[in-house]
């Protein structure tokens, strides 16, 4: 299959890959017809998917099965008036009906909108009205169906709701009726390459989610993902840990994997446990595994020596930046080097660690040759090695990179801002070393400017994560009248540390000292807060904006702007040569402000809350 789409399919080195990788783009490409149905034609019994759930059920689907079921579902949808350009939301968890449905929608030229089962009724209402969704296909459990039922009265565009069962509330139709559909007749005109095939609502760490639209060529952009990041072949059994509602499922459970001819392994489970995941790898002899670093961290806490995972040959990391400590621990226990990749909902894998590269722990790798990636400063100039810059993708209008999003649906202003002057601004900050490896720093809005330094959250988080007490953490900047911003660490502690609050003050100092040793001392968190959990989006991303807002709100309550301004003003007005003479005056001023601030703290916090008072 790769020969059908690549001018050259094997490469001898990274240089060979960067110079000669090129995708052949067919007219009116359609993944369902040109890949899945093509496999069904040339190797009908080739295994496409091995599906297992946490109840012990197993299903094996060949490519012939995938063609059969997607044809039936496409015909079923046709009978309901669904066709080219219609918007259909899929809330199907990890049910195999997701694959039947998305292929069927591709075959009709309709638009698939994968969505997570964690959506509230308000979320569903927003999505239905923002995109004029015509139909919803959902897993028929009580939580999903009840939330959809609650949303429907406010969703006038929705004409059909299909449930896979067992629940079928009022207005819900039985999806399983697809088995009785008439023989499928392919529409005369299905799609053009530029048509929208896929729409993702981003998780929205700030404000409403954006609608990211991809065209029908998007699957070809994942050739790099499947064949040269996951390193798959026709004998591979690949597992990506992701719900079908996230873009990561398109990255790891569909397009690039089936173009490579690999079998997709799906573990349909309600609750993640590292022990179960290891058991799946061992029992089914999974060869390739992709998951966020958090999953690897939890797996490392299990006794890997008690589970045979020798079938694993290749492991990749995505979804969040990789802490070097996780890389080293996993390699020590398995002999496998974790290979990081970077991309967004708006792209495919745009920076990656390929098979020809020696991984550098903590580095994302090098740019995908399909993308013209660079790092630029605030003036748009390329930055030299070692200097932070925003990750951008330069876009040739005549040869748009395959996999780059088409637009933010129904938002021309936002699209123009993100794709200004034929450059896509990712909003992510990184550095590049002398060897061309890229290193993630953080979101543009998350970079902390303190005492003239630019501090990336990730480098401090990496240092924190190497301390045994830290399970999860987030670094944010909080207002500081002297430094501009101070570094704050919000930490979820390991159970054995969490159970001893009497040691928290000593632990704070220990963690601060640890960071000073692990990275440049000016980066250490001057404020350390222990919490039970971090605020996250429904996709699991840490909401640093929420942590910042809480800190800023608290600071404004206890330190009125007038006090901050007057303190800085007094010091700024003193000539440097007169500082020594007026130290007592400065000290008295500062002491007075501290008294005012302490009084404010006592007003806000209850008398018993001494820990919070000390932090403040």
Helix intervals (H) in 43-182: 63-79, 97-108, 121-131, 142-151
- Does residue 447 register a pLDDT over 80? no
Higher pLDDT, 513 or 573: 513
At 606, the pLDDT band (50, 70, 90 cuts) reads low
At 9, the pLDDT band (50, 70, 90 cuts) reads very high
Residue 496 to residues 1, 273, 465, 501, 559, Cα–Cα distance (Å): 52, 19, 16, 10, 36
Give me the mean pLDDT over the 375-398 stretch: 94
- Does residue 106 register a pLDDT over 90? yes
pLDDT digits (tens, 9 = 90+) for 125-160: 999 999 999 999 999 999 999 999 999 999 999 999
pLDDT digits (tens, 9 = 90+) for 471-520: 989 898 888 766 778 899 999 999 999 999 899 999 999 999 999 988 87
Are the beta carbons of 423 and 393 closer than 8 angstroms?
A: yes
At 609, the pLDDT band (50, 70, 90 cuts) reads low
What is the four-CA torsion angle of 496, 498, 500, 505, rounded to 10 degrees? 120
- Does residue 265 register a pLDDT over 70? yes
Residue closest to 115 by CA, chosen among 86, 141, 143, 144: 144
Burial environment of residue 89 by CB neighbours within 10 A (0 to 12, 13 to 18, 19 or more): buried
Lowest-confidence region among 168-182, 250-264, 523-537, 598-612 = 598-612
Strand ordering across the sheet containing 484-493 = 470-480, 484-493, 527-531
pLDDT digits (tens, 9 = 90+) for 304-314: 778 899 999 99
**Per the structure block, which two tokens stand in for 375?**
């790092």
Residue 205: the pLDDT is: 47
How many whole angstroms separate alpha carbon 251 and alpha carbon 345? 10
How many whole angstroms separate alpha carbon 229 and alpha carbon 289? 11
Residue 252: the pLDDT is: 97
- Does residue 582 register a pLDDT over 90? no
Residue 449: the pLDDT is: 77
At 450, the pLDDT band (50, 70, 90 cuts) reads confident
At 556, the pLDDT band (50, 70, 90 cuts) reads low
340 half-sphere exposure, CB direction, 13 A CA radius: 24
- Does residue 454 register a pLDDT over 80? no
Residue 519: the pLDDT is: 81
Q: Across the chain, what does the average pLDDT equal?
A: 89
Lowest-confidence region among 338-347, 541-550, 560-569, 590-599 = 560-569
Angle, helices 293-301 vs 274-284, to 10°: value is 90
At 561, the pLDDT band (50, 70, 90 cuts) reads very low
At 93, the pLDDT band (50, 70, 90 cuts) reads very high
Are the beta carbons of 539 and 482 closer than 8 angstroms?
A: no
Residue 359 to residues 42, 389, 435, Cα–Cα distance (Å): 37, 22, 12
Residue 562: the pLDDT is: 46
pLDDT digits (tens, 9 = 90+) for 26-48: 999 999 999 999 999 999 999 99
Residue closest to 528 by CA, chosen among 546, 545, 513, 543: 513
- What percent of the chain lies above the pLDDT cut of 70? 87
pLDDT digits (tens, 9 = 90+) for 195-243: 999 999 986 544 578 999 999 999 999 999 999 999 999 999 999 999 9
Residue 545: the pLDDT is: 75
At 92, the pLDDT band (50, 70, 90 cuts) reads very high
187 half-sphere exposure, CB direction, 13 A CA radius: 22
Lowest-confidence region among 315-324, 358-367, 397-406, 526-535 = 315-324
At 303, the pLDDT band (50, 70, 90 cuts) reads confident
How many whole angstroms separate alpha carbon 232 and alpha carbon 238? 8
Lowest-confidence region among 340-349, 537-546, 557-566 = 557-566
Lowest-confidence region among 142-151, 173-182, 290-299, 389-398 = 290-299
How many whole angstroms separate alpha carbon 214 and alpha carbon 404? 7
Residue 348: the pLDDT is: 97
What is the four-CA torsion angle of 63, 200, 124, 538, rounded to 10 degrees? 100
């Amino acid at each position: 299959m790769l020969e059908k789409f690549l001018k050259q399919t094997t490469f001898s080195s990274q240089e060979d890959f960067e110079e000669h990788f090129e995708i052949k783009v067919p007219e009116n490409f359609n993944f369902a017809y040109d890949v899945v149905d093509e496999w069904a034609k040339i190797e009908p019994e080739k295994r496409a998917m091995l599906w297992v759930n946490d109840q012990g059920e197993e299903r094996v689907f060949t490519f012939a099965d995938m063609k059969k079921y997607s044809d039936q579902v496409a015909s079923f949808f046709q009978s309901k008036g669904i066709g080219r350009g219609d918007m259909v939301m899929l809330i199907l968890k990890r049910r195999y009906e997701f694959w039947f449905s998305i292929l069927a929608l591709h075959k009709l030229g309709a638009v698939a909108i994968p969505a997570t089962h964690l959506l509230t009724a308000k979320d569903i209402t927003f999505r239905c009205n923002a995109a004029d969704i015509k139909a919803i296909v959902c897993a028929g459990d009580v939580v999903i169906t009840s939330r959809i039922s609650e949303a429907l009265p406010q969703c006038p565009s929705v004409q059909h709701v299909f449930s896979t069962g067992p629940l079928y509330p009022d207005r819900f139709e039985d999806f399983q009726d697809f088995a009785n559909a008439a023989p499928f007749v392919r529409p005369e005109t299905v799609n053009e390459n530029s048509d929208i095939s896929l729409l993702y609502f981003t998780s929205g760490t700030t404000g409403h989610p954006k609608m990211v639209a991809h065209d029908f060529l998007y699957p070809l952009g994942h050739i790099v993902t499947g064949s040269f990041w996951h390193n798959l072949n026709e004998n591979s059994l690949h597992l990506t840990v992701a719900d079908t509602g996230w873009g990561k499922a398109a990255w790891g459970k569909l397009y690039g994997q089936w173009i490579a001819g690999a079998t997709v392994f799906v573990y349909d489970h309600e609750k993640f446990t590292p022990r179960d995941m290891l058991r799946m790898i061992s029992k089914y002899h999974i060869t390739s595994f992709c998951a966020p670093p958090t999953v690897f961290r939890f797996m490392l806490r299990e006794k890997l020596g008690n589970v045979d995972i020798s079938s694993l040959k290749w492991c990749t990391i995505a979804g969040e930046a990789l802490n070097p400590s996780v890389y080293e621990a996993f390699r020590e226990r398995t002999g496998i080097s974790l290979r990081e990749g970077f991309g967004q909902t708006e792209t495919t894998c745009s920076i990656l660690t390929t098979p020809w590269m020696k991984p550098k722990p903590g580095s994302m790798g090098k740019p995908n040759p399909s993308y013209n990636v660079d790092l630029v400063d605030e003036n748009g100039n390329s930055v030299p090695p070692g200097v932070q810059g925003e990750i951008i993708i330069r876009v040739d209008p005549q040869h748009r990179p395959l996999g780059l999003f088409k637009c933010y649906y129904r938002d021309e202003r936002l699209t123009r801002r993100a794709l200004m002057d034929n450059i896509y601004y990712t909003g992510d900050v990184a550095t590049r070393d002398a060897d061309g490896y890229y290193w993630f720093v953080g979101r543009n809005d998350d970079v902390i400017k303190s005492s003239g330094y630019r501090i990336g959250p990730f480098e401090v988080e990496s240092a924190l994560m190497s301390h045994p007490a830290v399970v999860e953490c987030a670094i944010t900047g909080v207002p500081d009248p002297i430094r501009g911003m101070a570094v704050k660490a919000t930490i979820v502690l390991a159970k054995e540390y969490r159970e001893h609050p009497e040691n928290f003050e000593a632990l704070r100092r220990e963690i601060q000292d640890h960071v000073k040793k692990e990275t440049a001392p000016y980066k250490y968190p001057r404020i350390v807060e222990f919490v039970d959990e971090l605020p996250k989006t429904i996709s699991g991303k840490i909401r640093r904006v929420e942590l910042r807002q809480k800190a800023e709100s608290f600071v404004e309550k206890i330190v009125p702007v007038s006090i901050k301004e007057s303190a800085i003003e007094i010091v700024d007005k003193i000539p440097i040569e007169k500082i020594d003479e007026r130290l007592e005056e400065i000290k008295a001023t500062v002491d007075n402000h501290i008294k005012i601030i302490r009084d404010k703290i006592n007003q806000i916090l209850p008398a018993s809350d001494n820990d919070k008072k000390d932090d403040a």
